[in-house]
Amino acid sequence: MGDFNESVVLDAIRRVPEGLSRVELSALTGLSAQTVSNICRRLLNEGLAREGGTTSSGAGKPRRLLQVNAEARYAVGVHLDPAVVTLVVLDLLGKVVARAQQPTPEAAEPDPTLAGMSESINQLIADSGVPSDRILGLGIAAPGPVDVESGLVIAPPQLADWGRVPLRDYLAGATKLPVLLDKDVIAAAVAERWTGVAADTGNFLFFYLGTGSGMGLVVDDVVLRGFSGNAGEVGGVYAACTTSALVGEAIEEGVLGAEFKPAGPRDAEQSLRELCRRAAAGNVTAGEIIDRWAVRVGRGVVAAATLVDSEMIVFGGPIWPQLAERFLPVVRGIVESSPFVKKIHPTAVTTTGLGVDVGAIGAACLVLDQMLAVQPQSLLLG
C-alpha cells in the first residue's frame, strides 16, 4: 500500500503545477495528516518532489507547498509511423525536453528502420543531456495490429512485408532501457489523458489521422486495450480512408497528375498535402474529396462516441494539421445533429494540443503512466 498511496499523492501534485500544501493533500486524497507527511518526506528524499514556496490564504500560518520536481525523472518515447519516426524525451510533468524526427526508410524489410530507430534513440538521449539514471524507460507507439504481450508489430497494412517484428525486444537490447509497446492510437489517448486537452475527462476518444486511421478510447477513466491490445482498429470501416486511397481518388478525378501516384506511405503523405493545398487554393473537386472524407470520418466517429458514451472527441495525427480547417466544421455538424448528442449530452470536437508529436509523446507517457499513475488494478493480489 505504501507505493500506492505515494502514487496517489504524486498524481495529485502533478496536476497542480504551483503545488499543494500537506493540508490540501490530506483533504484531496483522504489520507491522514500523518500518512501525507510521511509520504511527502519520502518523495522529497527520493527527489521526486520539492518544496515550492508557501501559501498564505486564511488566518493560520503560511503552508509550504509541495511540487513535482519535473527534472527528477524522464521518459523517452518513439513513434513509428510508416512515413515518419518521431522521438521525444519528456520530463515528469510531460514537457518535451528533446525531440527528433526522421523519415521512415522505404525498405521492404524492417532492419534499416530498426537500426535507425535505436541509433536515433541513443543519439537523442546523449544530445538531451539528461543523466541516464534518471530515465525511467522507453515507450514505443507502433502502427497496429500489434501483439502487446510479445511486443510484436504484426504486418501493419502500410508495412505489410514486415511480418511479425519483435520491435520491443530489439529496442530493449539496443538501448538497455525498460521498454513498453502499445498501438499508436492507444499511446495517443494516454498522452491526452496525461498531459493533453482531455486530462480532465474520463470519457473521450482520440481519432488519429495518419497513413492509416484509428481511434484511442478512454472510457470510465480507463484506456481501453481489448483482448489482444488492438482496441481502436477501424480498418474495416476506413479501408477507403488511407492516405494512398485518397490520393488515388484525387488522381482518378484529375485533381492530381499521375506524377503524384505514391510509391509508399511517405509519397502518399506528400501527395495528400498537395491535395489539401489545392483545396485551400479553391479547387472545388479537391475540396469535395476532402469533405466526403470528413463526412465518412464524422459518421464513424459519432457512431463510436455514441457506443462508448464519450464526452469529447479529439483529433490529431501527422496529417491532421492539413485537414483540421475543413474537417472540424463538417464533423461538428454531424456530431451536433446526432439524436444521441441532442438528447443526452453535448460532445466536444477538438484538436489535440500536443501537435503532430502526439504519438511520440504518448509513447513516453506509457512509461510515466505505468510507473507513476495510480493503478488500482495493481492492488489485486496474485
Q: Decide: is 318 part of the binding site for a second copy (CB under 8 A).
A: no
Q: Which of 21, 104, 158, 310 binds a second copy (CB under 8 A)?
A: 310
| Closest by CA position to 89, among listed 357, 372, 317 | 357
Nearer to a second copy, 217 or 323 (CB): 217
Nearer to a second copy, 309 or 325 (CB): 309
Q: Are the CB atoms for 39 and 31 separated by under 8 Å? A: yes
User: Exposure pattern of 280-293 as b/e (b: 16+ CB <10 Å)?
Assistant: eeebeebbebbeeb
Q: Which of 47, 62, 103, 202 binds a second copy (CB under 8 A)?
A: 202
Q: Are the CB atoms for 204 and 218 separated by under 8 Å? A: yes
Q: Decide: is 363 part of the binding site for a second copy (CB under 8 A).
A: no
Site for a second copy in 113-152 (CB under 8 A): 145
Work out how close the CB of 267 gets to a second copy at its nearest, in angstroms, rounded to a whole number: 24
Tally: H helices and E strands in the chain: 13, 16
Q: Which of 24, 233, 269, 369 binds a second copy (CB under 8 A)?
A: 233
What is the torsion angle, in degrees rounded to the nearest 10, for the CA atoms of residue 295, residue 301, residue 303 and residue 306?
-140
CB atoms within 10 A of CB 160: 10
Q: Which of 33, 115, 126, 222 binds a second copy (CB under 8 A)?
A: 222
Give kind and range of the element (H or E) at residue 21. strand 20-21
CA–CA separation, 247 vs 276, rounded Å? 10
Q: Decide: is 340 part of the binding site for a second copy (CB under 8 A).
A: yes
Which span sits near a second copy by CB under 8 A: 275-283, 319-327, 332-340, 356-364? 332-340
Q: Which three cell numbers stand for residue 66?
A: 509541495
Q: Decide: is 86 part of the binding site for a second copy (CB under 8 A).
A: no
Q: Which of 55, 122, 128, 201 binds a second copy (CB under 8 A)?
A: 201
CA–CA separation, 221 vs 219, rounded Å? 5
# residues contacting a second copy (CB under 8 A):
56
- Chain positions contacting a second copy, by CB under 8 A: 1, 4-5, 8, 28-31, 145, 154-155, 201-203, 215, 217, 219-220, 222, 224-237, 239, 302-304, 306-311, 338-340, 343-345, 374, 376-377, 379-382
